[in-house]
Amino acid sequence: MARCILHIDLDAFFVSVEQALNPELKGKPVIVGGDPQGRGVVASASYEARPVGIHAGMPLSRARRLCPQAIFLRANFSRYRDASYRFVKILGDFSPYIEPLGLDEAYLDVTGCEEPYESPHQLALVLKARVYQELKLTASVGIATCKVVAKIASDLCKPDGLLEIAPGEEQAFLNPLPVAKLPGVGKKTEQSLGEMGITTIGELASLPLHIVRRSLGMPGTALHSYARGIDTRKIEAPGEAKSISQELTFARDTLNRNFLEANLHNLCQEVCRELRSQNKRAKCVAIRLRYADFRTITRQVTLKEASHVTRVILATAQQLLTKAMAQQEKPIRLIGIRVSGLVGEEKQVPLFNSATEKPEHLDRAMDTIRRKYGPTAIRTGNSMSRDSSQMSPWAEERFLIFGSQ
């Protein structure tokens, strides 16, 4: 029996969450990113802002020039995480086979889950309606017999669309589309294929496999199958996060030690809060520094005992920062922290360890308060100085990255 896969992607996610919370923003060009005067980039743009060419990843300064009347908002990650959680929960009412990708998209295998719906199409309509009723967010949905076709379909019908590719129609659907629509085809692959005179998915599909392999190497095999509408990948439940990281790009390059430490403190707090909410501890702590010339270094150490205590992780990160700054005196553009070697609570450090227990209780109490009243409700020690006016670091902030990077 043919499988029935849905790919569901929320439209203009960060912006739509802001619009759902403040309806005055609806129907207007809205851009979520960092400070438009600074060096941040566009994270999400409303569809009203897109006709002039604004897209994710574009420097905010350029977006401001292209669309001066746009409303610029800073990203509020806890809101997006909350919406994402509720989105995935709704999906769970339609099928247990969910594979979330990032915060705002997921595959759903609904093979055999049609009951009580007349068809996958009707199921998708009900799903879209629920997402809208409960979250005030629109979703675009692709329906197909495999992941790659469902994903391309949802992309093509954005925003607020629904596109079903019937079994057997995959190749005809894909043939005329540009190769760049295939997930995995980036600028470089597009260029390599272009040099071979291949611009559409159909042209790629009709090439003999060994020619594709010669040009693109091993990844060419999968791309060649996808181009022919063949994709046997199953829906995979999200794996355990292998690392948690967060980083920050400054508005101005800096060598100011206090400023760097204050930001490191904030990043550590975020990462440790996430560790605790996942009931995990980390064995390895790494910092990442990007210098003004974009050279990027990573320094890592392994802890004697896995920890999720902010004070412990921060002390380690500070040592790494001290060492790195002693070796290199160039102004810094970006600072990041990553914890990895994650272990579950059952493998925790000895009970009644008075050295770690108190800070841990304090951390947990602070997590509760921040969850209730927002991230700025409490500041401790060094993290306070991040607010001081000569240190306005906020330019670009990516959300917490869970994964194996």
Q: Which residues bind Ca ion (CB under 5 A)?
A: 9-10, 13, 104
Rounded to a whole number of angstroms, the minimum distance from the CB of residue 160 to Ca ion is 12
371 binds, among ligand DCP, Ca ion, none (CB under 5 to 8 A by kind): none
Q: What residues contact residue 243 under an 8 Å CB cut-off, 6+ apart?
A: 338, 339, 340, 342, 401, 402, 403, 404, 405
Rounded to a whole number of angstroms, the minimum distance from the CB of residue 105 to Ca ion is 6
Which CB, 104 or 109, lies closer to Ca ion?
Answer: 104
Rounded to a whole number of angstroms, the minimum distance from the CB of residue 268 to ligand DCP is 21
Q: Number of helices (H) and strands (E) in the chain: give both, helices first.
A: 13, 14
Element (H, E) at 275: helix 257-277
Which CB, 17 or 309, lies closer to ligand DCP?
Answer: 17
Question: 170 to each of 150, 190, 207, 245, 256, how far by Cα in Å?
Answer: 10, 21, 17, 38, 56
Within 10 angstroms of residue 110's Cβ, the number of other Cβ atoms is 21
Distance CA 293, CA 297 (A): 12
56 binds, among ligand DCP, Ca ion, none (CB under 5 to 8 A by kind): ligand DCP
Check residue 66 and give left, alpha or beta (phi > 0: left; psi -120 to 50: alpha): alpha
Rounded to a whole number of angstroms, the minimum distance from the CB of residue 44 to ligand DCP is 3
DSSP string, 86-154: HHHHHHTTT-S-EEEETTTEEEEE-TT--TTSSSHHHHHHHHHHHHHHHH---EEEEEESSHHHHHHHH
Rounded to a whole number of angstroms, the minimum distance from the CB of residue 278 to ligand DCP is 21
Active site residue 105: yes
Which CB, 43 or 108, lies closer to ligand DCP?
Answer: 43
Q: How far is CA 164 from the centre of its chain?
A: 26
Which CB, 105 or 261, lies closer to ligand DCP?
Answer: 105
Following CA atoms 304, 309, 312, 314 in sequence, which dihedral angle do they give, to the nearest 10 degrees? 130
Rounded to a whole number of angstroms, the minimum distance from the CB of residue 60 to Ca ion is 19
44 binds, among Ca ion, ligand DCP, none (CB under 5 to 8 A by kind): ligand DCP
14 binds, among ligand DCP, Ca ion, none (CB under 5 to 8 A by kind): ligand DCP
Distance CA 115, CA 109 (A): 14
Which CB, 10 or 163, lies closer to ligand DCP?
Answer: 10
**Which residues are near ligand DCP by CB under 6 A?**
9-14, 43-44, 56-57, 104, 158-159, 398
Q: Which residues pair with 340 in a beta bridge?
A: 243, 284
Which residue, 177, 146, 163, 189, is CA-closest to 4?
Answer: 146
43 binds, among Ca ion, ligand DCP, none (CB under 5 to 8 A by kind): ligand DCP
Catalytic residue among 24, 48, 99, 105: 105
Rounded to a whole number of angstroms, the minimum distance from the CB of residue 41 to ligand DCP is 7
Within 10 angstroms of residue 62's Cβ, the number of other Cβ atoms is 14
Question: 114 to each of 4, 79, 109, 123, how far by Cα in Å?
Answer: 10, 32, 11, 7
Which CB, 12 or 131, lies closer to ligand DCP?
Answer: 12
Q: What residues contact residue 397 under an 8 Å CB cut-off, 6+ apart?
A: 34, 40, 75, 77, 248, 249
Which CB, 107 or 259, lies closer to ligand DCP?
Answer: 107
| Residues that are catalytic | 105
